Structure 1
């Protein structure tokens, strides 16, 4: 095990890899996003009478459009704050 660790460490040093951590966007630091997801889940449960969505339904778009705005995928911020959250 330590041979692999030493090999990895030498490779990282040889290629001059620098680690940059973005903890403000990390999953475990996203209490706000966790709450957004919970809100979206509860809203969708009320809308569809406790029906579970499949992956194809969540990633699809409507065929018939009612608006002329550009297409974009929905995110939890759409439901919570009404727009895309930009940092």
Structure 2
């Protein structure tokens, strides 16, 4: 059986050049550093440091999956539809 669980977390985001600060925070809080990666309209979080396709870094609780899909970006058409409805 599989289930989808949405969890709302408030996390600090870091630029790639601040990787040392992110690692220090992760160590202090017993957490993990994840890369928020993006290509085209796909977004995902990947545990560990990387430089390819990285949007920013996030420090998240331990024991989460190594790879987590995130909602795709909203297309420009969807944005304009929302503005028209307002």
Fold-level match, TM-score > 0.5? no
Q: Normalised by the size of structure 1, how large is the TM-score?
A: 0.20
* Bigger Rg, structure 1 or 2: 1
Structure number with higher helix proportion: 1
Q: Normalised by the size of structure 2, how large is the TM-score?
A: 0.20
